[in-house]
Amino acid sequence: MDKVRIGIIGCGGIANGKHMPALKLLPQVEMVAFCDIIEERAAKAAKDYGTEDAAVYTDYRELLARKDIDVVHVLTPNKQHSFITVDALESGKHVMCEKPMAINSAEAKKMLDVAKRTGRKLTIGYQSRFKPDSRYLKRCIENGDLGDIYFARAMAVRRRGVPTWGVFLDAENQGGGPLIDIGTHALDLTLWEMNNYEPAVVMGATFRKLADTRDAANPWGPWDPQKFTVEDSAFGFIKMKNGALISLDSSWALNTLRADDCKIMLCGDKGGADTLGEKNTLRFNGEKFSKLYVTEPDLRAGGVDFYEGAGGGKPHEIEARMWIEHVMDDSKPLITKPEQAYVVTQILEAIYTSAATGKPVYFD
């Protein structure tokens, strides 16, 4: 395969801000079809990123009917992830689906099962794995520097950062608020760094305490409280089968000064580590020669790639490149295995269920 021909389904913010610009950088990629329920949006994407003969659709099924498309990127609201991905896999396409995998674990399981049955490749868009601090930390953990990691904090906390466009505030279309939107990134990153995907029990709580604020101090403008049907913050505790504990904090609006879209803290019996999110800063801590220490590696220097041939670039660019390399060559690693994303979805659903029932959710 010399060229990978791609169809884009959903030409909104995440397509224009992440996927299409990254794919445009890859010489082995051709974006040949664009679909959106708003035809003008698909037409603009085709003009900006497509081949000269790129086609525009408003019905994704027409795009999937084409036999000359190898890969589909599903970049729609969360509710549509599962059934579009399943249809795409059934049509013989490989699929990159934007996070979260689905709005619940049953829908995610359908995606996983169909990918296995059809032999098509499926991945989920979790680009936080490819930040410089995340990649360097992974190498250190694999080297044994932290030892047995038994406690972690996953944080995706905004003081005020409520997305007021699209359907973000709509529980029906999104399946939840900050937990499923940005908390999913922090949880995915934590599980991946720990290489621990076996939850035992989950407890959670969700709140809608600030959503009724009018004329809120929000970088994307005030929201309409009547349309704000999801939580504004959510918190969970996840006990893993090996005894490790993970605390997950997520918010779009919370009265706190400790805010960042995705940062994690890991505590092991040999050392600990903190990432500082958007600053791409990483600190290690521990004890040596009867003294406590804190060290901060210079991530601006070379040699931080733990994937062979990953190269430089922004996280979403590395993600796109590794995905296409995997499509073209089975020997290349799959960036996010669907089985991993499925566990993330299971845990998110368990937090919502626990919050609704007031009871813990146990895993078999």
Do 179 and 197 have their domain in common? yes
pLDDT at 32 over 90: yes
Domain boundary among 69, 103, 125: 125
pLDDT at 109 over 60: yes
Pairing of strands 29-35, 4-9: parallel
Total number of domains in the chain: 2
Q: Give the whole-number percent of the chain exceeding pLDDT 70.
A: 96
CATH assignment at residue 165:
3.30.360.10
321 within some domain = no
- Per residue in 154-183, pLDDT (tens digit) is 999 999 999 999 999 999 999 999 999 999
Q: Evaluate whether 35 touches 10 at the Cβ level (below 8 Å).
A: yes
Do 209 and 299 have their domain in common? yes
Do 157 and 257 have their domain in common? yes
Residue range 198-206: mean pLDDT, rounded = 98
Do 274 and 357 have their domain in common? yes
Domain boundary among 125, 156, 190: 125
pLDDT at 2 over 90: no
- Per residue in 289-348, pLDDT (tens digit) is 999 999 999 887 655 444 434 456 899 999 999 999 999 999 899 999 999 999 999 999
**pLDDT at 308 (0 to 100):** 39
Determine the structural domain holding residue 92 and report its residue range: 4-125
319 within some domain = no
Domain boundary among 62, 94, 125: 125
State the pLDDT confidence band at 263, using cuts at 50, 70 and 90. very high
Write down the mean pLDDT value for the chain: 94
**pLDDT at 306 (0 to 100):** 45
325 within some domain = no
**pLDDT at 14 (0 to 100):** 96
Residue range 5-23: mean pLDDT, rounded = 97
Do 16 and 63 have their domain in common? yes
Residue range 273-300: mean pLDDT, rounded = 88
**pLDDT at 52 (0 to 100):** 96
Do 174 and 157 have their domain in common? yes
